[in-house]
Amino acid sequence: MIPQFSRDDLEGVFHYTGKLIILLGYLFLLPLFVAIIYKEWNPAIDFIFSSLFSLSLGYLITFKFSDQTDLNWRQGMTIASLIWLIYMFLGAIPLYFSGHYNLYIDACFESMSAFATTGLVLVRDLDHMAHSYNFWRHFMCFIGGQGIILLGLLIFFRGASAFKIYVGEAREEKILPNVVQTAKFIWIVSMCYLIIFVLILGFVNIFHGISPSRAFFHAICIFMAGWDTAGFAVHLQNISYYHSGIIDIITSLIVILGALSFGLHYAVWTGKFKEIFKNYEFKIFTGSIILLSFLTFLGFVKTTGNIDFISSFRTTFYQVISGHTGVGYTNVDSYYLKNYFPEFSLIFLIIAMGLGGCSCSTSGGIKMLRVGLILKELKKEVKGYSSPFSTVIIEKFHHIKDISLTDAQIKTSSIILIMYITTYLFGSLIGTFLGYPFLYSLFESTSACANVGLSVGITNPNMPNLLKITYIIEMWIGRLEFLSIFVFIRFLFSLRSPE
């Protein structure tokens, strides 16, 4: 049972929440800078307003709640859950002012999709959106992928409080002994990859006839949404806009890197290249991609009768990579997925989305380490029933270091797996209740909760508001992985009658 919140708990929650709101107020200055560069004066006013409003709100909250004592576990988890909702509402303000959204809830949907790195969109006339608004969409992905809390760790949180709020954002691994150092490493890696891939994508775009300014703007946006497995794109056609196999290959590499554990990145960056071949989660992830790609391709070719092997493989493999990493990039559109992908292939694409990428990455979903641990436990049980009664069986796996499998790991992994599957099914039942076919509803619900972004066309500005709210909640829950959400619900009850 989660302990009742006290008034002191509430003081700490609101104080640090206010600080993170102040942080958002300053983050609005970056798209403002883009608006000034492109001489987009109306968007500039929108970002000035959004910045001033967030700064005023944040400073007001921190003035009212000035307690800066160390946080406990329930405070850290509550802040993590609460701030994602607040960022959604505040991040949606300039989007709604842009005129590209029918309703404010549509802008909130897009904002949550960006921060949660999902990639489902409700934007209208994206191809004619101002650069600054479009940049903000992708920059939110970049903030959310590394983590709102992770950015706050660099500025506001120190000591015991840092780890408690770090865990609240569904992160368990400390790559370095100190979580602030871990946050620094993750941001350094992200910025280094940003420079490398923006240069590569920029020059590839120029080679394809795009003007230099547009080429590098596209490159920045593609990387921010790709590395953080969000899947937003500058144009409505997504990656198919470029009609380029080279872009498909580069974006596939970016999203695979984004879906790998930052612990694995750290091992490689520090010269431990053998970790790639020893890491158990990476092996499971790679094997799952190969198996699901083969099954999806097999169903696609058998059902459609498409004899163009390269075209079929490119189509199916890219969607599986996109779904499994949680990026949601696509070189086909939702109409194609709905009308040309056979149900057999869609089922395996749903499985890929539901499984997700690696732990401690920018990817969503169940995570491959948890799947691998359950497979290890299954292997252990089979060995147990096949061995003499008195035999003690110990299963080990290598994930950065050699680890012995424990009952606690299996219990946690099983609970998270069950909760994800339950949420996938709950969202699909809501979609079915509203009149959509079950398989398509399951596809869309899994895409939302696993923070993927692929769509068979259900997600659009005209879908029922109930479904928009359902997917917003699923994206929020999927990004924070349940425990923080339960603590936050307890916090809401405490607001009514704190001790």
Question: How confident is the prediction along the chain (499 residues), in pLDDT tens digits per residue?
Answer: 455 666 666 777 888 889 899 999 999 999 999 999 999 999 999 999 999 999 999 999 999 887 667 677 777 788 888 889 999 999 999 999 999 999 999 999 999 999 998 989 999 999 999 999 999 999 999 988 877 766 666 666 555 555 556 565 556 666 666 677 777 888 888 999 999 999 999 999 999 999 999 999 999 999 999 998 888 999 999 999 998 889 999 999 999 999 999 889 989 998 999 999 999 999 999 999 999 999 999 988 888 776 677 888 888 999 999 999 999 899 888 888 888 888 999 999 999 999 999 988 888 899 999 999 999 999 888 887 777 766 777 888 888 888 888 888 899 899 999 999 999 999 999 999 999 999 999 999 999 999 999 999 999 999 999 999 999 999 999 988 888 888 878 777 776 654 4
- Residue 456 lies inside a defined structural domain of this protein: no
Phi, psi of 157 (to 5 degrees): -105, 135
Coil, helix or strand at residue 499: coil
Taking alpha carbons only, the member of 486, 458, 428 closest to residue 121 is 458
Domain total of the chain: 1
Residues 449 and 110: beta-carbon distance below 8 Å? no
Coil, helix or strand at residue 170: coil
Structural domain harbouring 100: 1-163
Residues 135 and 155: beta-carbon distance below 8 Å? no
- The helix (run of H) or strand (run of E) holding residue 396 is strand 396-399
- Residue 217 lies inside a defined structural domain of this protein: no
- Residue 122 lies inside a defined structural domain of this protein: yes
Spell out the residues 6+ positions from residue 376 whose beta carbon is closer than 8 angstroms to its own.
395, 397, 405
Task: Look at the alpha carbons of 324, 190, 122, 129 in this order and tell me if their dihedral is positive or negative.
Answer: negative
Count of Cβ atoms closer than 10 Å to residue 60 Cβ: 12
Taking CA 357 as the corner, what is the angle to CA 352 and CA 363, rounded to the nearest 5 degrees?
A: 115
Residue 166 pLDDT: 59
Residue 1 pLDDT: 47
Residue 356 pLDDT: 92
CA distances from 486 to 77, 412, 493 (A): 9, 15, 11
Query: What end-to-end distance do the CA atoms of the chain give, in Å?
Result: 16
Coil, helix or strand at residue 389: coil
- Residue 53 lies inside a defined structural domain of this protein: yes
Residues 314 and 433: beta-carbon distance below 8 Å? no
- Residue 97 lies inside a defined structural domain of this protein: yes
- Residue 128 lies inside a defined structural domain of this protein: yes
Taking alpha carbons only, the member of 155, 152, 133 closest to residue 144 is 152
CA distances from 290 to 235, 332, 420 (A): 30, 20, 23
User: H-type helices in 127-244, by residue range?
Assistant: 131-146, 148-153, 160-168, 179-207, 212-227
Residue 333 pLDDT: 83
- Residue 55 lies inside a defined structural domain of this protein: yes
Count of Cβ atoms closer than 10 Å to residue 254 Cβ: 25
Tokens of 230: 């969000």
- Residue 423 lies inside a defined structural domain of this protein: no
Tokens of 153: 């760790």
Dist CA 165 CA 83 (whole Å)? 11
Phi, psi of 453 (to 5 degrees): 115, -10
Contacts for 405-409: CB closer than 8 Å, 24+ residues apart: 405/373, 405/376, 405/377, 405/380, 409/373
